[in-house]
A = this chain, B = another copy of it.
Amino acid sequence: MKRMAVFTSGGDAPGMNACIRAVVRSATYHNVEVFGVMRGYEGMIRGRLHRMESSAVSNTIQKGGTILKSARSSEFKTHEGRKKAYQQLRHFDIEGLVAIGGDGTFTAAKVFHEEFGLPIIGCPGTIDNDIYGTDYTIGYDTAVNTALEAIDKIRDTADSHNRVFFIEVMGRDSGYIAVQSGIGGGAEIIVSPENSNTTEDIINALRKGKLHHKASAIVLVAEGEVMGNATKLAAEVQAATEGLDIRVTTLGHIQRGGSPTASDRILASRTGVGAVEGLLNGKTSVMAGIQNNHLVYTPFDEAINKKKPINQELLRMVKILSI
C-alpha cells in the first residue's frame, strides 16, 4: 500500500485529532503517504483530499474537535454518491481508508467496502461509548470528565441553597456517560435506559435522602432516556412533592469539546496506529478497538449490531453510595 486516506465523520469527539495524528505519523513511519479528507463522506464525494505530512499534525494531539471537520452527507446514502466518492479516491490513488467515527460512520463504510472493495478500517470516535468491540470509545473519557466538572460546580450551588438538581447529560440511547459521571459526581439517583427507575423511584430516593438529612441532591438523567428528558421528569417530581426547590440543567454541547484526557489521547493513538497497521496487514471492514488493554479488530457488522451492556455492578453501586 502506497497511499491511504483518513477522515472523520458523525458527531465530533475529543481525541479525533490525536487519532488523525496517529494515522498520519504511523503511515509516514511505514512509508505510506497519507491524504486527509475534509468533511467526511461529503468531502470525499467532492474530492476534498489533501496530502498530510508528519508536520501537518504537529501540535494537534491536545486539540478538541476535528481538524478534518465532519459533516452529514445525504448523497453518500445513495449508490450514485458512493460511486462518485470512490472515483475521487481512485483519482488520488488511495488504496486504503481509515474512518474515524461512530456506528453511522461504520455502517456507511461497510456498504462502501462491499460495493467497491476498497480496504477500510474504523476507529471508534464518539463520546457515547455505545460501540461493541472496544472497552471505551475515543472522546468518552473526556466527555465524562467534562460532565463531572460541571456536576461538581452544580453541587456547590445545590448545597448552598439546599436544592435538588436534575442534570441531563449526553449519550444518545446509552447511559454510559450518565452512569460514569453520576457515580463520579456522587449523584443520588441516575436515570438511564439501562435501569428501570420510575418517577416514583426518584421521589423515593429524594425522600430517603431527606431522612438521612441530605440537604441537596443530584438526579442525573441520560438524554436518551425513554421516560422523557430532565425537564419533564423534574416537572413530574415537582408536582408530586412539596417543598423541594428543584432546578434543571442540560449540559449540552460542552460535552463534545475540550482538550482530550490522557486516556482518550492514548486510546486514539493506539487505535490510529492499529488501523494503519491493520490495513498494511491486509485487514478490512473491521474496527480497531482496545479490549482489556489489547488491540482487537472487530468486524464492522459486530461493532454496529452487537450490544455492549453497561456493567450492572456500577448500577448496584449507585444505590450503595448514595445512602
A residues with CB within 8 A of B:
8, 12, 14, 16, 21-22, 25-26, 28-29, 54-55, 58-59, 61-66, 69-71, 135, 141, 144-146, 148, 150, 152-157, 159-162, 165, 180-181, 183-186, 212-215, 247, 249-254, 256-259, 261-263, 265-266, 269-270, 273, 292-293, 295, 311, 313-314, 317, 319-323
Contact = CB atoms under 8 A, between A and B. Distances in A.
B65 A156 contact: yes
A146 B153 contact: yes
A151 to B, nearest CB: 9
A161 B70 contact: yes
Contact of A153 (B58, B64, B322): B64
Contacts of A319: 29
Contact of A250 (B141, B148, B250): B250
26 contacts: A8-B160, A21-B321, A25-B321, A25-B322, A26-B320, A54-B323, A59-B186, A62-B152, A62-B185, A64-B157, A66-B160, A69-B159, A69-B160, A70-B160, A145-B261, A153-B254, A153-B257, A153-B258, A154-B254, A154-B257, A156-B258, A247-B253, A249-B252, A269-B321, A273-B317, A273-B320
B320 A253 contact: no
Copies in the complex: 4
A319 B62 CA distance: 18
**From A69, A214, A254, A266, residue with most partner B Cβ within 10 Å:** A254
Closest 9 CB pairs of A and B: A153-B257, A64-B156, A156-B257, A65-B156, A12-B160, A65-B160, A184-B262, A184-B265, A249-B252
**From A25, A165, A185, A295, residue with most partner B Cβ within 10 Å:** A25
Nearest to A321: B25
A8 B215 CA distance: 17
A75 B304 CA distance: 59
A14 B145 CA distance: 15
A176 to B, nearest CB: 11
A29 B254 CA distance: 31
A156 B273 CA distance: 24
Nearest to A165: B253
Contacts of A21: 186, 321
Nearest to A14: B156
